[in-house]
Amino acid sequence: MNAALTTVSKLDRSITCYYANTSQKLQIVRIDTDSKNSFEKVAFPGERLLFNARRDDRLEVYVATDTQPVLSHRIECDRLQIQEPAIA
């Protein structure tokens, strides 16, 4: 019974997030999280991403350079949360 409650609890903390690469450069985006789940994706210029994360996770955005990716900024995932319409 405790395992089922833990699973539901983890799902309740998951939010759907949106990020758009509005730059003209290739970006690498990844979730900064302490959980076992990870997210890392190459985002092309103009690409839009939907992903699930925990409210307390952070999205790290790296700009691709010739030598190595450079951290551009970090965004709290709760700031990227989309508002889903209520079902009546």
Q: How many CA atoms lie within 13 A of 30 on its CB side?
A: 13
1.20.1740, 1.10.10, 2.60.40, 1.20.120: CATH of 2-79: 2.60.40
Q: What is the reported pLDDT for 12?
A: 55
Per-position pLDDT tens, the chain of length 88 = 444 433 444 545 789 999 999 999 999 999 966 666 678 999 999 999 999 999 999 999 999 888 899 999 999 999 999 987 777 6
- CA 62, 66, 69 angle in degrees (round to 5)? 20
- Nearest CA to 35 out of 6, 68, 73, 69 is that of 6
Q: What is the reported pLDDT for 38?
A: 78
pTM above 0.85, yes or no: no
Q: What is the reported pLDDT for 3?
A: 44
